[in-house]
Structure 1
């Protein structure tokens, strides 16, 4: 069973929470009736922990869940009890980034906005390794630089996943094309890689050009993840010096979604983007 929070555990927590509220019981009161700890109940509701099934069944019983609620809860518990996504090199990843990787592995769609660098899912291994060497204080431990290329390749396999490849709509600030990471030769290969991946049917690659002026994402990269279930809220992640973190406040989620949509409104088209990337590659790194 996956350690820590997973999307399936959070779905289960959202299912149980209104049943607790309807019962008029506090988590500590539920715990006392079930003869378990308050932390167990709280972590079930937050999606941070999956209790053993007998404990879960006892919780649903004291809450007087209906047969339909118990059946749905059991199905969600069984889903959460299975490792939905296995992330290689997990020990080298920050907890926030690991959560992002697990969510990304279950997502059907990803919208990203990167104001400074090529997005991770589009980075060549050499590009990622160079970033690791230049920012060792921000990586999650020893060995990350050596494993960065493999980690990026693992993410990129989502774009060719069958039968449902990840649908990627990446907005990249034009400045990322001019920020030389590694050698000029590496940047030429990286931009060629962007053109190759950007030609895939499930990938939409667009530039926030210099001509568009300022926009709301100059504070770090932004990723929005969509899921197949119609009732599942999107996941919003932002990057900063403190690493990757999830944003759960509804107001903040709405604001960040609006920032992405505004940037998309003024971004170059796919065709214009491909032409600009070729021009920069040939003029600056050719």
Structure 2
């Protein structure tokens, strides 16, 4: 097992190895927890990489699993390194939800991301103004809004700006493309930003048109992460009003793959999607121009205030 200086790499690698060695022993999470007088949920959180594991707890787990020698030393070293090293978002943790911090961990480790968004442009493709408009709907504190916007833009740099970026496949429902967020002009800028990303070799953007009818993606936003520290394993992320939920459950992962295969079949291909997006950009520009003209005409018709005779506008 090779360790690294990346704290997320270390945590997920340790979590993956702990899950593997527990499986090798034949113990369930509940059985392992019983031997340590822990709850099964604690084992589950550690194996999912949701929480950091202390050195003491790790040594206890390795003892239960009879892990010795080089593997034990490597796991302890990787865990120590991951706990000492701060992530780039640590200084913003006060305003980041646990689900968002977990999403950042998975994004930092993904080699492949497939994402479907039925209502909004995905965060990794958002402009600053679009992100500010969306995030502002969830909190009224200006400082928190700006911090979350900065985090979202930093996510894009961390994921898309790597020397070897992950393969990114986005399916956008037509509703997400046509919904005017902020203003038509802002939306046109946003869609042009999506088009610019779609020209990159590692990014694919597909539009699911209204004509596709009812499809399994309509149940809500869905993402599938392939993680380099997980030896080809996948994690499913689903959003709801209650927050984000991650799972490695194989039936759920298989179902997510089925959903994405269906979306792949019904979406416009990459070339037609680009044409579609450019057409909507044109529509948004026209809508912005019409609104500007209406405001201009309204200003002309607005009566101007007149001063009584003998009064002066000067003090």
Instruction: Pick the TM interval, shorter chain.
Output: 0.7 to 0.9
Q: What whole-Å deviation, never above 9, does each CA across 1:222-261 have from its counterpart, x for those lacking one?
A: 1111123573411110111112211233212211221111
Aligned to 2:277: 277
Among 98, 118, 122, which residue is 1:119 paired with? 122
Please give the secondary structure, in 2, of the residue aligned with 1:89. Answer: helix
Aligned to 1:151: 151
Among 10, 26, 36, which residue is 1:21 paired with? 26
**Residues 12 and 76 in structure 1, CA contact (< 8 A), matched pair in contact too:** no
Summarize the alignment of residues 105-254 of structure 1 with structure 2, pairs less than 5 Å apart: 105-136=108-139, 143-229=143-229, 231-254=231-254
Following the alignment from structure 1 to structure 2, what is the Cα–Cα distance between the partners of residues 162 and 272? 28
The structure-2 alpha-carbon separation of the partners of 1:6 and 1:93, relative to structure 1 and needing over 3 Å to count, comes to farther
Q: What whole-Å deviation, never above 9, does each CA across 1:144-184 have from its counterpart, x for those lacking one?
A: 32223312211211354332112211010011121000011
**TM-score w.r.t. length of structure 2:** 0.75
**Residues 132 and 145 in structure 2, CA contact (< 8 A), matched pair in contact too:** yes
Q: How far off its partner does 1:99 sit?
A: 0.3
Following the alignment from structure 1 to structure 2, what is the Cα–Cα distance between the partners of residues 29 and 279? 60
Unaligned runs of 5+ in 2: 1-5, 287-315
The structure-2 alpha-carbon separation of the partners of 1:78 and 1:178, relative to structure 1 and needing over 3 Å to count, comes to same
Larger Rg: 2
Following the alignment from structure 1 to structure 2, what is the Cα–Cα distance between the partners of residues 285 and 80? 48
Number of residue pairs aligned between Structure 1 and Structure 2? 276
Aligned to 2:259: 259
Following the alignment from structure 1 to structure 2, what is the Cα–Cα distance between the partners of residues 208 and 174? 6
Following the alignment from structure 1 to structure 2, what is the Cα–Cα distance between the partners of residues 44 and 229? 15
Please give the secondary structure, in 1, of the residue aligned with 2:94. Answer: helix
Following the alignment from structure 1 to structure 2, what is the Cα–Cα distance between the partners of residues 188 and 133? 19
